[in-house]
Amino acid sequence: MALRKPTDTAKETKPVFESEDSAPQVSEPVVQKQMQIVSAQSEQKALVFPPAEVRSQPRASARYKPAFEDFKNQIDPSTLDFDTFPRMKVGLGGFSDDKQVEFGKRIVLRLMSWNERWTVTAGEDNDEANALVRFSLDGKTIDGTGELVADYIKNLKEVEGYAKAESKKYYAIYGFLVAGCAEGEKTLVGIDPASQPIISVQVPPRSVSQFTRLQIEQGVKVSQGVLQPTDTILLTQIKNKGKTKDYAGIEFTPYYD
């Protein structure tokens, strides 16, 4: 496939003296002079304005809509076969599809749909545990069998002996692959629109929060008028440090042509 962005505040306190007679006496002219100074200082403070560029910035809207919310579940994964669209995964070497074609550490995707999914694991990384991995489209039932996720996890713990068994949420993001990087290269190369394939990007559980962050930041900035809406996203491979090994993750940023 050919590859082708202080306002000071002070507490008012009454001086504490041993007796009223011991309070220092101040002459009236001195008091009047002090009042004039305070009045002049107050007038000066009232004339201080923030810079024009600060005043002109739009204020955050009290309410905002998370970015890409309209794209959620636009594709029903239950109607798709496992290999309907090429599946793109991220690894320590970058992005690659299920045919092991490398697309570098950055890809650009024009969004069509994003869907929540869950993976149910035994909590260990070995061949025997990996054979027990199951998937769920709703987080409640196992895909293909209908067994309750809670029951399957209970079985893994109490019968199979996997104390760390759990379910984890991840995302499947569908869209047109707009650009990628040649293997070992950092420069994005665009794909001719007529040749752009629809792909499914598997967002690992550790990166779900990164997509949520993008939704919030983009939604607020669009509501402020700082940014224009876009349906195109730059996905960048990042490395996460684990206790025993490193894990690949994805960072999401809006992309404008």
- Sign of the alpha-carbon torsion through 109, 110, 116, 117: negative
31 or 52: which leads in pLDDT? 52
CA distance 144 to 155: 17
CA distance 97 to 171: 16
Q: Does the pLDDT of residue 229 top 50, yes or no?
A: yes
User: What number is the average pLDDT over the span 176-198?
Assistant: 89
CA distance 200 to 176: 9
- pLDDT tens figures, 58-78: 555 558 899 999 999 999 988
Q: Where does the pLDDT of residue 1 fall: very low under 50, low under 70, confident under 90, or very high at 90 and above?
A: low
Q: b or e along 205-218 (b: 16 or more beta carbons within 10 Å of the residue's beta carbon)?
A: bbbbebbeebbebb
* Torsion angles phi and psi, residue 14, rounded to 5: -90, 125
Q: Does the pLDDT of residue 45 top 90, yes or no?
A: no
Identify any residues that bridge with 166 across adjacent strands, giving them in sequence order: 121
Q: Where does the pLDDT of residue 83 fall: very low under 50, low under 70, confident under 90, or very high at 90 and above?
A: confident
Q: Does the pLDDT of residue 19 top 80, yes or no?
A: no
Q: Does the pLDDT of residue 226 top 80, yes or no?
A: yes
Q: Domain residue spans in the chain?
A: 69-115+172-254
3-state SS assignment for residue 195: helix
Q: Does the pLDDT of residue 153 top 80, yes or no?
A: yes
Q: Which amino acid, one-letter code, is at 50?
A: P
Identify any residues that bridge with 203 across adjacent strands, giving them in sequence order: 171
Q: Where does the pLDDT of residue 141 fall: very low under 50, low under 70, confident under 90, or very high at 90 and above?
A: very high
Least confident range of 53-57, 77-81, 105-109, 131-135: 53-57
**Contact 173/114 with Cβ under 8 angstroms?**
yes
